[in-house]
Amino acid sequence: MSKLVLVDGAKGHTGSFLIKEILESKPNWQIIATDLPIDSRKKLMKKETIFSSELKQMDEFLIDPRVEFLPTDLTKPETLEALFQGRKYDFIFHPASLYDYFALLDILREINVEGIRNLLELIIKTQDLKKLVFVHWSTCGVYGEPKYEKDLRGYPIPADERAPYDPPNYYSISKMEQELVLKEYVKEHELKSIIIRPAPIIGPYQTYGAYHILMMINKLGFAPGLHIYPKKKRLAMPLIHIEDLVRAAVFLAEDERAIGEAFNLVINPCLQEDFLEYLGTLLNTDYINIPILWPLYKLLSKILFWIANRKEKKARKLDSRPQIDLSMAGYMNHQYHFSNEKIKMLGFNFKFPDYDDVTKDTVEWYLGNNWLESDY
């Protein structure tokens, strides 16, 4: 059956891949796509030019005849009205947010929190809430570092979607507040919604977050393999391939069992050391195996966080930005270990279920497209 869907953040990494997925897998779906006007987006998305002066996008799908693009700004409700004039949507996908660890909390709240409120206000006034499904992008970062249950050997058991909120940085705080705003509208207006909480995204065209790890290892020429002891303290490496992220969003939107639920989107559990060793192999760099006691590792991470803090303060004074944001450095000694069992129980199959799958596909794409030979 024909469906009308809205995709915001359409020129972003997730939004563009979501449009691509819909065009390829749902031939009867028509898409209204929206994002900031070009000049506004270039001004806001400076994080995408940290390693290259070029703002790289995958936006060729916006010219498909099944896609109509309308520029809007979530912080300006009057610009959103054109999206809803004479249109009744079946699905609204909301990946649009400012994902930037360098951004201050007030701008994150203005865009992410007030932005979703502006969008939801128009939705409840114009849409058929009995048929509409609203799919919201959050992040596993809303959990912070959960208090993990332990198995019989003392190893942490991956946290599921019942873990409480404990966001560790401004970006994750804004995403938690987004969820709380959405839950208000769900309760008051019986809006049918689904929340997805992705791990750090990896895959083609990715330029922020996990991409920094690839760039820094490629630049250094070696991958540091810090093997923490005791082994039960070794840190997980949560990731999600961009293709699985958007496939899961479409899958959940069509499954009535997902309504009112939240879902972690993350690969099967893996350790940082395994990811880094395999990454070093793919990049043809040296891998240095460094055994380290957990107390010493924590001290080292605190020193590096202190250095990152000084660099960030200096960058703000100079109106620039560091290559590694402070909140990224803050993740160094946190255990982020999340379960993907809930979505798998609904029957979703990951195309890239493990760390070697996501890493190989990503690195091969970067090397094949010369993205690791930038002009930084």
User: What is the identity of the amino acid at 310?
Assistant: R
Q: Which phi and psi angles does 350 have, rounded to 5°? A: -75, 135
Amino acid 321: pLDDT: 87
Exposure on the CB side of residue 222, measured as CA atoms within 13 A: 8
The two structure tokens encoding residue 220: 């250094």
Q: How far is CA 150 from CA 141, 145, 157, 245, in A?
A: 21, 14, 5, 28
Q: Find out whether 178 and 95 touch, Cβ atoms under 8 Å.
A: no
**Interaxial angle between packed helices 170-189 and 114-126, expressed in degrees from 0 to 180 and rounded to the nearest 10:** 20
> ω into residue 230 within 30 of 0, thus cis?
yes
E strand map for the chain: 3-8, 29-35, 67-71, 91-94, 133-137, 192-198, 201-202, 222-229, 240-241, 262-265, 286-293
Q: Find out whether 346 and 246 touch, Cβ atoms under 8 Å.
A: no
Amino acid 52: pLDDT: 66
The two structure tokens encoding residue 259: 């309504």
Amino acid 208: pLDDT: 86
pLDDT in tens, 190-212: 999 999 999 999 999 988 888 88
Q: Which residue has the tokens 């916006």?
A: 62
The CATH number of the structural domain formed by 3-209+240-268+338-354 is 3.40.50.720
Going by DSSP bridges, is the β-strand pair 222-229/201-202 parallel, antiparallel, or unpaired?
A: unpaired
Q: Is the dihedral of CA 224, 227, 228, 231 positive or negative?
A: positive
Q: Per residue of the chain (376 residues), what is the pLDDT tens digit? A: 799 999 999 999 999 999 999 999 999 999 999 999 878 877 777 676 666 666 566 778 888 999 999 999 999 999 999 999 999 999 999 999 999 999 999 999 999 999 999 999 999 999 999 999 999 999 999 999 999 999 999 999 999 999 999 999 999 999 999 999 999 999 999 999 999 999 999 999 988 888 888 888 888 888 888 899 999 999 999 999 999 999 999 999 999 999 999 999 999 999 999 999 999 999 988 888 889 999 999 999 999 999 999 999 999 999 888 888 888 888 888 999 999 999 999 999 999 999 999 999 999 999 998 887 644 3
Amino acid 322: pLDDT: 86
User: What is the identity of the amino acid at 141?
Assistant: G
What's the pTM? 0.95
How do the residues of the chain divide into helix, strand and coil, expressed in percent and rounded to 5?
Answer: 45, 15, 40
Exposure on the CB side of residue 68, measured as CA atoms within 13 A: 11
Torsion-angle region of residue 107: left (phi > 0), alpha (psi -120 to 50) or beta? alpha
CA–CA distance, 219 with 280 (Å, rounded to integer):
12
User: What is the identity of the amino acid at 341?
Assistant: E
The two structure tokens encoding residue 335: 């255990």
* Cross-strand pairs, 288: 224
Task: Give the number of residues written for the chain.
Answer: 376
Residue 104: other Cβ atoms inside 10 A: 11
Instruction: Please tell me whether residue 270 adopts helix, strand or coil conformation.
Output: coil
Residue 100, judged by CB atoms within 10 A of its CB (0-12, 13-18, 19+), counts as buried
